[in-house]
Chain A
Amino acid sequence: MKVVLLSSGLLLSLLGAGLRFLAGNTHFPKDPECTLTRVRHGTLRVGYTQAAPWVVPAGAGPQGIEPVLVRALARHLGARIEWVPGTEQHLYEALKQHQLDLLAAGITDESPWKEEVGLTRPYAQTTVYVGASPGTPAGVVVRGQPVAVAAGTDLGHYVREQQATPVPVGQLPGGHFLAAGYEWQLPRWGYRRLGPPLKQENHVLAVPPGENAWLLAVETFLYQQHHEVHRLLYASPTYPAP
């Protein structure tokens, strides 16, 4: 009994000392590969791939919500950006091996790579709803109706879950119609929301695995920008209608 008390006392004082040390230490947590130290006033290597409106490749480097955020982050750290285009898989592999510092690809926290790399906390949450075009009679219900969905997306599945019929389209149909769209798209189309949310997406950026100081720095920056993200999303001109 005495031994237990003694050793737990010792342990508690050790923990106390540890916490005091951590509290007084501004460089905590640390990166095993020193990413944050290297990027600050250095080069930020960012992999990107097409994912409008989050990332839109263009002549002078990528545009879109994530490149805007990344550029602001680089300014904040006094870093120069090296943009690396590629396919998502190649970029993830490079990120996992610490050959990139950041991945901007419009990914969500459902990414199958989430165990292999570090994902930030969601910096934006978007929700898909069924919308009704202007002039659609009041009191219309989603169930049993045809609903336009962007071809080649998973939205048809969620439309079917609401007992409606998905109609894959290349662009927004004219006339009276129901269509699935993100909450920030519907007002732009002049549509009004109808029924419960179909799907929610939590947008994240990815960093190399275990670089905790770097991850914390990126997340803290994104957290401070969350009002800006909201503004960018509603202002983004680039997303093609479904």
Chain B
Amino acid sequence: MTPPKHQEVPAELEGALARAKQLEWLTAAYIASVIVVMYLALGQSQAMKTAWADDMLGLVAPVSFLLTTRFVRRAATREFPYGYHRAASIGYLAGSAALLVIGILLFVDGGLALARGERASIGLAVVWGHPIWAGYLMMAALVWSTVPSYFLGKAKLPLAEQLHDKVLYADADTNRADWQMGSATILSIGVIGLGYWWADGAISLVLAGSIILDGYKNLRQAVCDLLNQTPKTVSRQDDDPLVARVETLLAGLDWVREVKIRLREEGHILYGEAFIIARTTDDILAKLRQATAAVHGLDWRIKDFVLAVVDELPD
């Protein structure tokens, strides 16, 4: 059997991984700047508070990506014979749980503010000696929290597909969709300015709702990953075609009568086994070695695939 290899991605994807890390560092620095800018413009608006909290949550994905890419490359040990690939899943689980909980807290907070009829007071801000309405300052902060985010997300999406990285994908998707949150908040400041105070609470509820939805979607996926759901494409819409390709390859071998395979995702990589009923066991070791190499050759993501010759297929 081929011993497990420990580099996480093949040489031709190292460039993409390095680029993804760069982008995540850039994202972390950018979000830190957004947090400061938003804090300075914050004021009493509930929608602004919610948007600010959402910006802070935006740090979870880049930080967990940067942390886990360090961990997942560690070699397997006696204590952790399957290696550390699942560090990515743990980061993903923790991040999405945080998203869900904070979303719920913000929703309750916004709901209470709306129910109590709390009205946001937005007054004067002085920028370099020029008195202006603080609402314009908030809008400017929100534009900074929105526009660069959109482009960062767009740059990260193709890398996430290439690297088959779900944390990166979720992050890119969130960034790309950020313009909706930002625009909704800008709109709410404008509507408050028109004298409709309830717009603040109402839009903060919408924002919190979308955080909850995001958290729920991601949490469900993280739990499914940890429960060894069959591999999905990185956008989670479909079954990963790789499963069918492995099955076809093995079923097509002349010495294989029947085959059943199981694959599970551990972070970027796939582990799995095939149970084979063989037509003949002549020269079986060489056949198994060839078949294993062929399966490993299908895709870099298949790291540790085990073939077992059995006389009865498991359920």
CB neighbours of B123 from chain A (8 A) = 118, 120-121, 212, 215-216, 219
Proximity string of chain A (24-37) to chain B, C-beta cutoff 8 Å, 1 when within and 0 when not: 00001111100000
A32 to B195, CA, bound (A): 4
The answer, yes or no, to whether A194 is at the interface (CB within 8 Å) is no
Among the listed B124, B133, B150, which residue makes an inter-chain contact with A121, where contact means beta carbons less than 8 Å apart? Answer: B124
The answer, yes or no, to whether B190 is at the interface (CB within 8 Å) is yes
Which B residues, 186 to 222, have Cβ-Cβ distances below 8 Å to chain A?
186-187, 190, 192-197
Counted as pairs of residues, one from A and one from B, with CB atoms less than 8 Å apart, the total is: 78
Proximity string of chain B (278-304) to chain A, C-beta cutoff 8 Å, 1 when within and 0 when not: 000000000000000000000000000
Minimal Cβ-Cβ distance residue in A for B123: A215
Total count of chain B residues near the partner, CB < 8 A:
26
Minimal Cβ-Cβ distance residue in B for A29: B193
Among the listed A8, A31, A213, A223, which residue makes an inter-chain contact with B131, where contact means beta carbons less than 8 Å apart? Answer: A223
Proximity string of chain A (2-37) to chain B, C-beta cutoff 8 Å, 1 when within and 0 when not: 001000100100010010001000001111100000
Q: Secondary structure of the B side of the interface? A: mixed
CB neighbours of B197 from chain A (8 A) = 32, 210
Proximity string of chain A (108-144) to chain B, C-beta cutoff 8 Å, 1 when within and 0 when not: 0000000101111100000000000000000000000
Given the known A-B contacts A121-B124, A216-B133, A220-B124, are A210 and B119 also in contact in the complex, defined by CB atoms under 8 Å?
yes
The distance from the CB of B42 to the nearest CB of chain A, in whole angstroms, is 13
The distance from the CB of B190 to the nearest CB of chain A, in whole angstroms, is 6
Among the listed B121, B179, B196, which residue makes an inter-chain contact with A211, where contact means beta carbons less than 8 Å apart? Answer: B121
Could you list some 28 contacts between A and B, CB below 8 A? A11-B179, A15-B186, A22-B193, A29-B122, A29-B195, A30-B195, A32-B196, A115-B118, A117-B121, A118-B121, A120-B124, A121-B123, A121-B124, A210-B119, A211-B119, A211-B121, A212-B133, A212-B135, A212-B193, A215-B121, A215-B123, A215-B124, A216-B123, A216-B124, A219-B131, A220-B124, A223-B124, A223-B131
